[in-house]
Amino acid sequence: MDNDDQLKVKAKIEYDQMAMHQKDIDEFNILGSKSIGIKDVLQVIAPLVLLLLASQFFKIDSDTLMVMYVIFAASSFVQGMVTAESKKVNRRIDLLLKILKQEREQKNT
């Protein structure tokens, strides 16, 4: 192998490493967006649906039912927000550690 071939191989390796690194950075940035998944929506709506079913099968006073609706709505909303954000934060931390590790490896070579 002559010098040109070695340089081409090194350039290809560097390009592949940079592409992987950029992919991680792009995923890191996407995870910071405010998208809502179907699972998150179901977690928010499920308690309210269960309360509606309970009101159909059990005799519940209308004032008590309204208070329960407000409590369930608030708790569902907060639970959905906390779940979604904790997932994003955990995945972002994992990606950040991966990116930092790759940068450290690049500096060592």
Work out how many domains the chain is built from and give that number: 1
> What is the rounded distance in angstroms from the CA atom of residue 69 to the CA atom of residue 74?
8
pLDDT digit string, tens, across residues 21-66: 788 777 776 765 555 667 767 777 777 788 888 888 888 788 888 8
> What is the rounded distance in angstroms from the CA atom of residue 23 to the CA atom of residue 15?
12
Instruction: State the pTM of this model.
Output: 0.47
Phi, psi at 61, each rounded to 5°: -60, 145
The upper half-sphere exposure of residue 39, i.e. CA atoms within 13 Å in the direction of its Cβ, equals 3
- Indicate if the pLDDT at residue 107 is higher than 80: no
> What is the rounded distance in angstroms from the CA atom of residue 55 to the CA atom of residue 48?
11
Domain that holds residue 34: 3-108
CB atoms within 10 A of CB 44: 20
